[in-house]
Amino acid sequence: MTMTDDTTGVLGQRLLRREDPALLTGEARYTSDLPIPGALHLAVLRSPYARARILSVDTSAAAAMPGVTAVFSGADLADAWAGPMPCAWPVTEDMKSPTHYPLAVGQANYVGDGVACVLATSATAARDALDAIEVEYEPLEAVIDLEDALSDRVVIHDEIGTNRSYTWDLKIEESEGQVDRAFADAAYSVKARYIQQRLIPAAMEPRAVAAIPQPFGGDMTLYSATQVPHILKVMTALTLGIPEHQLRVVAPAVGGGFGSKLNVYAEELLCVALAKRTGSPVRWTETRSEGNQATIHGRGQIQDIELAADSDGRLTAVRVRLIGDMGAYLQLVTPGVPLLGAFLYAGVYELPKAYDFSCTSVFTNMTPTDAYRGAGRPEATYAIERAMDTLAAEIGIDPLELRRRNFIPTEAYPYEAMTGLVYDSGDHDRAATLAAEMIDYAGVRARQESQNVPGAAKRLGIGVSTYFEMCGLAPSRVLASLNYGAGGWEAATVRVLPTNKIQVVTGTAPHGQGHETAWSMIVAEKMGVSPDDVDVLHSDTAIAPLGLDTYGSRSLSVGGVAIAMACDKVIDKAKQIAAHQLEANPDDLEFSGGEFRVAGSPDRAMPLAAVAFEAFTAHNLPDGLEPNLEAHTTYDPPNFSWPFGTHMCLVEVDTETGEVDVLKYVAVDDCGNQVNPLIVDGQVHGGVVQGLAQALFEEAVYDADGNLQTSTLAEYLVPAASDVPAIETGHTITPSPTNQLGVKGIGEAGTIASTPAVINAIVDALSGLGVRDVPMPASPNTVWRAINEAQGGQQ
């Protein structure tokens, strides 16, 4: 590791996660486990129509039911909101955003849009009362198709007069007209359309909320299954007009998010508003079907991509046109998702300044979309990696060879890309070579020769995907240039207690990642203590008041680095105390293994434990030095972090049934130095499965009227362990030069790389049958249809 000398060798060990015993035994408490005496239960009546005028809401029968405390329509709560539901990412000056309240007023705009709600003394009574609310709707024509939305044939929101939210362009040319000239002069060019289907995040724990008021003091505590307690606090305060200092947000054990809990939801605002109004605690737990309808969806793009290449296959221009599906409203960062991928449509390849990206995002009558694991980057990686395979086929060379010809060379790092972004470090050839060895790339190509003969019942295919994960969101100034409504820093406090136990306070908000384990390892390494002597405090704004939470693979490369920097500050202070005690110059002291030693005089030493106790008693501190050992850091990273790698997938396709069998999956990921390789492997495994799920299983399907056809997990096919292959992980380590730990993020890499690897493998298997593309998810029926279409047969 590229660490200081103060190493105890903790970093890089495969320590078991300290979080797991509580999670696995049921000791951990999730929001809906919290005992809250006297809590009222919220239930939300949701629109059964994708688009309908709300003519009347009669709550009287429901209000008269046993156990029911109150029933509200959207209009009844109009005075509860200081502002509409927040969108924190106005990507352009003229972006259109329809006014959106926690309960719809006047018009419902997707199936699942809240129309009325019930408070009752039990969840059962609340649910039963929903059936007694009488809503008169006037159904209106729904807009489901993105190109139909773009046409404004039917305008969903009268108040903004168009379905177009914004158009965002990124055109980079050495000289005007370069992209057009490159395509005119190209030896080879390809053009393809890819559909990023809508996905349902389906975290293991549904959303849950509990708001507990203090009626006389005015304080409010909000428990939520959220990945952003700090952001939620600010946004809830603003939206409800609650003074921020009177609001405390706690995220107890949180069972996964994948971006879906990076939001401010109607039910959170309803619980707080109604707790404030009634003076009683109010709680709500999402059902799985509500989750499928009313928690944000991911992806949802139409991608048109064109590549131009010279006679050697080297890229000379990239042109991309996106249509982004915002859904019915803009949620917290909905419009920004396509932008997070906008810089990555040239992948890990050298490209001259000949890049033309444009995204137009539209409203539809479907569940709002927002960030979902990878957010913009899986989409971009899919498009360029599929298009590279198409280009290789056009040229007639091996797709891995085409990639090698285009890789940014290792010696070019740090590399300033044509977009102006600086990629911190990379070695694409090494990762690709390792992956090729692990999967026996050459051997597979030879097997294909003998197996993929005409009439073969099963055809073998191999898919390659290389990627960059622009992550570790992010330098605040860069976020400012993208009009993002917050910074990208992270806060940390490191506190040495009198007995040399250490408390770390972090602004990250883990919801399954293992931060307590990883952060304790960083502190142990820096401070020369055991990880068991380090406690990690988080996810409660009363304990950890500052933070920007967990998303975008930012926690380690921003929050973890902040912790290391706070450790440095503590060590500096401790060094002054030790020097004073040892009657030495602080500059002559060395710190390693938890002990300060005078350089050249090994017998003159003082352990950190003794320093900590001196700092606590303050009996004999240097003049002017404050008691106690504690330091705080807020770290704003100088750059994104740029993990990269190569994934390869080996499939066998049954040409009779269209069934895809993933025989082998190899993931080589380089996330710089690894704090805990066990956690890294876990992130890669989970990410690969989620990306593979997009390729093979998952799709939020709507009918033409806007009814969600996949409202339960019987129809929405989240794969189980029995449905996915064993995953072999390999790693190269190219430390990031931008932070002292040399680390990069890893939370989204698997999701980014795996989807195109799987589809490339399927298309590779079927290329001999004339198949050039297979839409996602590549279900057996879909693959069978693709084969038939290529063969000119029945569909």
Contacts of the segment 157-162: beta carbons below 8 A, 24+ positions apart: 157/98, 157/109, 157/363, 159/98, 159/99, 160/96, 160/97, 160/98, 162/96
| Smallest distance from another protein to CB 651, Å | 15
> Binding marks (x or -) toward another protein, 107..126, rule CB under 8 A?
----------------xx--
Tell me which of 650, 784, 786, 787 binds another protein, using CB under 8 A.
784
Q: Which of residues 65 and 170 has its CB atom nearest to another protein in the complex?
A: 65
Is residue 720 a contact residue for another protein (CB under 8 A)?
A: yes
Q: Which of residues 236 and 367 has its CB atom nearest to another protein in the complex?
A: 367
Is residue 20 a contact residue for another protein (CB under 8 A)?
A: no
Tokens of 581: 């005690």
Is residue 363 a contact residue for another protein (CB under 8 A)?
A: no
* Prior bond of 414 cis (ω within 30°): yes
Number of H helices, E strands in the chain: 20, 28
| Smallest distance from another protein to CB 514, Å | 28
Tokens of 613: 């106790």
Is residue 710 a contact residue for another protein (CB under 8 A)?
A: yes
**Who's near 603: CB < 8 A, 6+ residues apart?**
none
| Smallest distance from another protein to CB 709, Å | 6
Contact 283, 270 (CB under 8 A): no
Tokens of 345: 């449509």
Q: Which of residues 115 and 129 has its CB atom nearest to another protein in the complex?
A: 129
Instruction: Pick the stretch among 68-76, 514-522, 665-673, 776-784 that binds another protein (CB under 8 A).
Output: 776-784
| Smallest distance from another protein to CB 47, Å | 17
| Smallest distance from another protein to CB 290, Å | 9
Q: How many Cα atoms occupy the beta-carbon half-sphere of 400 within 13 Å?
A: 25
- Which position has the token pair 């419902």? 108
The span from the CA of 353 to the CA of 775, in Å, is: 31
Tell me which of 153, 193, 245, 288 binds another protein, using CB under 8 A.
288
- Which position has the token pair 């100034």? 477
The span from the CA of 379 to the CA of 756, in Å, is: 9
Instruction: Pick the stretch among 423-431, 634-642, 664-672, 778-786 that binds another protein (CB under 8 A).
Output: 778-786
Contact 287, 205 (CB under 8 A): no
| Smallest distance from another protein to CB 786, Å | 12
Is residue 208 a contact residue for another protein (CB under 8 A)?
A: no
Tokens of 627: 């008691």
Q: Which of residues 744-773 bind another protein (CB under 8 A)?
A: none
* Prior bond of 474 cis (ω within 30°): yes
Is residue 714 a contact residue for another protein (CB under 8 A)?
A: yes
> Binding marks (x or -) toward another protein, 404..433, rule CB under 8 A?
------------------------------
Instruction: Pick the stretch among 148-156, 225-233, 483-491, 705-713 that binds another protein (CB under 8 A).
Output: 705-713
> Binding marks (x or -) toward another protein, 681..700, rule CB under 8 A?
---------------xx---
Is residue 775 a contact residue for another protein (CB under 8 A)?
A: no
Instruction: Pick the stretch among 345-353, 641-649, 719-727, 761-769 that binds another protein (CB under 8 A).
Output: 719-727
Using CB atoms within 10 Å of the CB of residue 483, give its burial: 0 to 12 exposed, 13 to 18 middle, 19+ buried: middle
Instruction: Pick the stretch among 20-28, 168-176, 371-379, 720-728 that binds another protein (CB under 8 A).
Output: 720-728
Helix (H) or strand (E) holding 289: helix 288-294
Q: How far is CA 70 from CA 26, 74, 120, 135, in A?
A: 34, 13, 7, 16
Q: How far is CA 446 from CA 248, 441, 449, 461, in A?
A: 62, 9, 5, 11
| Smallest distance from another protein to CB 789, Å | 13
Q: How far is CA 523 from CA 11, 502, 518, 689, 743, in A?
A: 10, 8, 9, 31, 15
Size of the site for another protein (CB under 8 A): 30
The span from the CA of 611 to the CA of 578, in Å, is: 6
**Who's near 720: CB < 8 A, 6+ residues apart?**
none
Nearest to 747 by CA among 515, 576, 490, 535: 515
| Smallest distance from another protein to CB 273, Å | 23
| Smallest distance from another protein to CB 126, Å | 9
Is residue 722 a contact residue for another protein (CB under 8 A)?
A: yes
- Which position has the token pair 């107890």? 252
Is residue 284 a contact residue for another protein (CB under 8 A)?
A: no
The side-by-side arrangement of strands in the sheet containing 107-108 is 107-108, 52-58, 134-139
Tell me which of 1, 12, 127, 498 binds another protein, using CB under 8 A.
127
The span from the CA of 70 to the CA of 40, in Å, is: 10
Q: Which of residues 638-657 bind another protein (CB under 8 A)?
A: 656-657
Is residue 781 a contact residue for another protein (CB under 8 A)?
A: yes
Q: Which of residues 494 and 660 has its CB atom nearest to another protein in the complex?
A: 660
Q: Which of residues 294 and 749 has its CB atom nearest to another protein in the complex?
A: 294
Tell me which of 60, 712, 772, 791 binds another protein, using CB under 8 A.
712
Tell me which of 25, 175, 620, 794 binds another protein, using CB under 8 A.
794
Written in H, E and C, the secondary structure of 396-437 is CCCHHHHHHHHECCHHHCCEECCCCCEECCCCHHHHHHHHHH
Helix (H) or strand (E) holding 73: strand 68-73
The span from the CA of 498 to the CA of 736, in Å, is: 35
Is residue 701 a contact residue for another protein (CB under 8 A)?
A: yes
Q: Which of residues 564-603 bind another protein (CB under 8 A)?
A: none
Is residue 289 a contact residue for another protein (CB under 8 A)?
A: yes
Tell me which of 705, 740, 785, 790 binds another protein, using CB under 8 A.
785
Q: Which of residues 124 and 592 has its CB atom nearest to another protein in the complex?
A: 124
Tell me which of 58, 76, 723, 773 binds another protein, using CB under 8 A.
723
Contact 560, 538 (CB under 8 A): no
Q: Which of residues 499 and 657 has its CB atom nearest to another protein in the complex?
A: 657
Tell me which of 48, 719, 725, 768 binds another protein, using CB under 8 A.
719
Site residues (vs another protein, CB under 8 A)? 123-124, 127-128, 287-289, 656-657, 659, 696-697, 701, 709-710, 712, 714-715, 717, 719-720, 722-723, 779-781, 784-785, 794-795
